[in-house]
């Protein structure tokens, strides 16, 4: 089984008096320290050896471990609190002969680690970064990936507010090859940070993959976040979001449901959110449902866009949403179209496929990725095609249309409202969003 490292050397200055006498991993949530929660999670998934890389107030952690019995081998490696997290990992070099898992000691998480490890083994990459959308990406490191989940770029904070990226935040959980150690070249004048100094370099030279998950992974490095993490734990939210548990989802069409739908949207400058969309998604986020976009984008097949253009527009959508404090848990799009004869058509994508709505390929992919209970999920869209896809996928459906005459284009039985917000309010009213 894989070995795990817990980075537990930081000072936690943003937590003020709380960390004057204890390091961040020793803060208690629900009666257990963060460190205990992490060790228990690792034990649950069969990890037998854990290296805890300490620094600030290391003796507090060491004394705690002497008085505890976790039935796994735990070794503390003490280092100068002033060094960076990358340098700290390098100090563990002699113990790292195989791929290893890395956690930050101030992160509360509950993940299906088996699923993460299976992903890493399947991709056979140099490293796997765990990614997730969150509600504060503006002060987080963001990662770009392609359709094969290969990492294309790493964008550490701070960034220009004009830059638009997918809300794929570096969650601070990694599986690394020991080969990463050769990229950690210590300098006396620099605290080497993985995000700022190491990852941008190895991405240029190695195959790195991003594992996107909606599971609960949240640092508690500020008083506000510590309060929220504590509440989430007491509410049972942290455990519930583990991918071993079934989740409910609201599948959202994009054009005409989330944003204005000019004919053949292909220009990023034409993308504008519809009114009340942020309020609607905020309700979805707080409900425990996943918010997942499933969108046909045939302009790729017609030769008027490239895959990268669709991804940039999706990046703008997420940037606009995240700047208002809401998030999408997943985005799936189909670039295909079955018809030929367009002047600039891309023959690679002018095919019959199983993902273009009303087919359900995007739904089944999301169902597998997120372990979704389709019988308790919904689709909200603005076309007959969305409703048929929902029926085919065996989820409940809502059609949104401003123009009542447009409702006549969809003869199928479905709930009908005039916008996404009213659809979500309807679900709340009938008790679905609990």
Asked whether residue 273 falls in the same domain as residue 408, the answer is yes
Based on the residue annotation, tell me whether 253 is a catalytic residue of this protein: yes
CATH number reported for the structural domain that contains residue 182 in this entry: 3.90.550.10
Candidates 70, 409, 44; CA nearest to 244 is: 44
Distance of CA 42 to CAs 2, 33, 146, Å? 10, 14, 30
258 domain-assigned: yes
* DSSP state letters, 41-92: HHHHTT--EEEEEE-TTHHHHHHHHHT---SSEEEEEE--TTS-HHHHHHTT
In this predicted structure, the answer to whether residue 137 has a pLDDT above a threshold of 80 is: no
Asked whether residue 29 falls in the same domain as residue 154, the answer is yes
Asked whether residue 152 falls in the same domain as residue 15, the answer is yes
231 domain-assigned: yes
pLDDT at 189: 65
Asked whether residue 378 falls in the same domain as residue 342, the answer is yes
Owning domain of residue 31: 3-238
In this predicted structure, the answer to whether residue 43 has a pLDDT above a threshold of 90 is: yes
Asked whether residue 158 falls in the same domain as residue 265, the answer is no
Last residue of a domain, one of 238, 267, 292: 238
Q: How far apart are CA 48 and CA 40, in angstroms?
A: 11
- Percentage of the chain lying above the pLDDT 70 cut: 98
pLDDT at 405: 59
Name the CA radius of gyration of the chain, rounded.
23
In this predicted structure, the answer to whether residue 142 has a pLDDT above a threshold of 80 is: yes
pLDDT digits (tens, 9 = 90+) for 390-404: 999 999 999 998 756
pLDDT at 407: 62
**Token digits for 52?**
């805890």
311 domain-assigned: yes
Domain count, the chain: 2
108 domain-assigned: yes
Distance of CA 54 to CAs 7, 28, 85, 223, 401, Å? 7, 18, 10, 22, 57
Asked whether residue 285 falls in the same domain as residue 424, the answer is yes
Cα dihedral: 337, 343, 344, 347 (round 10): 50
Catalytic residue among 253, 329, 382, 386: 253
Asked whether residue 313 falls in the same domain as residue 331, the answer is yes
Q: How confident is the model at residue 406 (pLDDT cuts 50, 70, 90)?
A: low
pLDDT at 379: 98
205 domain-assigned: yes
Last residue of a domain, one of 203, 219, 238: 238
pLDDT digits (tens, 9 = 90+) for 252-286: 999 999 999 987 888 999 999 999 999 999 999 99
pLDDT at 309: 94
Asked whether residue 171 falls in the same domain as residue 281, the answer is no
Asked whether residue 162 falls in the same domain as residue 32, the answer is yes
Asked whether residue 258 falls in the same domain as residue 223, the answer is no
pLDDT digits (tens, 9 = 90+) for 99-109: 999 999 999 99
Average of per-residue pLDDT across 1-9:
93
The DSSP call for residue 227 is: H
In this predicted structure, the answer to whether residue 60 has a pLDDT above a threshold of 80 is: yes
Based on the residue annotation, tell me whether 106 is a catalytic residue of this protein: no
421 domain-assigned: yes
323 domain-assigned: yes
Cα dihedral: 228, 233, 239, 241 (round 10): -20
Neighbours of 287 (CB within 10 A): 17
Asked whether residue 202 falls in the same domain as residue 281, the answer is no
Average of per-residue pLDDT across 375-397:
96
Mean pLDDT for the chain?
Answer: 92
Asked whether residue 149 falls in the same domain as residue 293, the answer is no
434 domain-assigned: no
Last residue of a domain, one of 196, 216, 238: 238
pLDDT at 408: 67
Catalytic residue among 255, 329, 382, 386: 255
């Amino acid at each position: 089984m894989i070995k795990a490292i817990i980075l537990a050397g930081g000072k936690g200055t943003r937590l003020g008096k709380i960390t004057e006498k204890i390091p961040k991993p020793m803060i208690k949530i629900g009666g257990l320290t963060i460190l205990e929660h992490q060790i228990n999670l690792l034990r649950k998934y069969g990890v037998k050896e854990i290296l805890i890389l300490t620094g600030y107030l290391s003796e507090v952690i060491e004394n705690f471990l002497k008085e505890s019995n976790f039935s796994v081998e735990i070794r503390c490696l003490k280092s100068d609190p002033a060094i960076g997290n990358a340098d700290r990992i390098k100090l563990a070099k002699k113990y790292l002969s195989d791929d290893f898992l890395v956690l930050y000691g101030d992160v509360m998480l509950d993940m299906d680690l088996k699923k993460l490890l299976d992903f890493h083994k399947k991709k056979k990459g140099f490293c796997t970064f765990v990614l997730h959308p969150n509600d504060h990406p503006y002060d987080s490191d963001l990662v770009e990936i392609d359709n094969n989940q290969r990492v294309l770029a790493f964008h550490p904070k701070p960034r220009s507010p004009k830059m638009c990226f997918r809300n794929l935040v570096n969650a601070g959980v990694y599986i690394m090859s020991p080969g990463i150690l050769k990229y950690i070249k210590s300098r006396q004048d620099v605290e080497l940070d993985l995000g700022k100094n190491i990852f941008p370099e190895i991405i240029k030279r190695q195959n790195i993959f991003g594992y996107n998950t909606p599971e609960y992974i949240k640092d508690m490095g500020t008083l506000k976040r510590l309060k929220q993490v504590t509440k989430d734990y007491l509410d049972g939210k942290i455990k519930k979001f583990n991918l071993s548990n079934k989740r409910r989802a609201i599948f959202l069409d994009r054009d005409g449901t989330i944003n204005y739908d000019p004919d053949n949207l292909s220009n990023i400058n034409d993308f504008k959110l519809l009114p009340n969309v942020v309020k609607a998604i905020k309700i979805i986020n707080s409900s425990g449902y996943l918010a997942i976009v499933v969108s046909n984008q045939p302009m790729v097949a017609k030769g008027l866009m490239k895959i990268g253009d669709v991804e940039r527009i999706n990046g703008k959508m997420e940037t606009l949403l995240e700047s208002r404090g809401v998030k999408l848990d997943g985005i799936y799009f189909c670039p295909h179209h079955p018809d030929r004869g367009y002047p600039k058509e891309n023959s690679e994508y002018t095919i019959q496929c199983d993902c273009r709505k009303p087919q359900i390929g995007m739904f089944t992919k999301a169902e597998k990725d997120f372990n979704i209970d389709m019988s308790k999920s919904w689709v909200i869209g603005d076309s007959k095609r969305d409703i048929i896809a929902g029926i085919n996928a065996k989820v409940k459906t809502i059609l949104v249309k401003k123009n009542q005459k447009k409702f006549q284009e969809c003869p199928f039985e479905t709930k009908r409202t005039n916008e996404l917000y009213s659809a979500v309010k309807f679900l709340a009213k009938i008790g679905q969003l609990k």
